[in-house]
């Protein structure tokens, strides 16, 4: 499963004051059904006065491990790939 995540960095008073935060996410199937969704969200968040910048990051997650975590108590590792 691929997750397309939109992270944002809020404007800081000094470097390192704030950490990037997850603003929105969609899975690969939702993205196929609505390919403009993340574009629209990115434009929306980049229009906020307190957001310095956004970055899309694609995270690929093993389906079997996801099910183990979602339906059980296991932890999960993901491989991060640059999306845009």
Specify the pLDDT at position 42.
Answer: 97
| pTM of the model as a whole | 0.79
pLDDT single digits (tens) 23-78: 999 999 999 999 999 999 999 999 999 999 999 999 999 998 888 888 887 666 77
Closest alpha carbon to 65 in 80, 56, 49, 76: 76
* Residue 83, pLDDT above cutoff 70: no
Specify the pLDDT at position 65.
Answer: 85
Helix (H) / strand (E) element for 9: namely strand 2-10
Specify the pLDDT at position 76.
Answer: 66
Give the start-to-end residue ranges of the domains of the chain.
2-82
């Amino acid at each position: 499963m691929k997750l397309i995540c939109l992270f944002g960095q809020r404007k800081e008073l000094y470097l390192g004051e704030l950490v990037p935060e997850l603003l929105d996410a969609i899975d690969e199937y939702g993205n196929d059904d609505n390919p403009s969704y993340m574009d629209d969200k990115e434009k929306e968040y980049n229009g906020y006065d307190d957001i310095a910048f956004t970055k899309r990051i694609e995270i690929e997650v093993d389906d079997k491990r996801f099910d183990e975590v979602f339906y059980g108590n296991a932890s999960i590792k993901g491989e991060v790939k640059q999306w845009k």
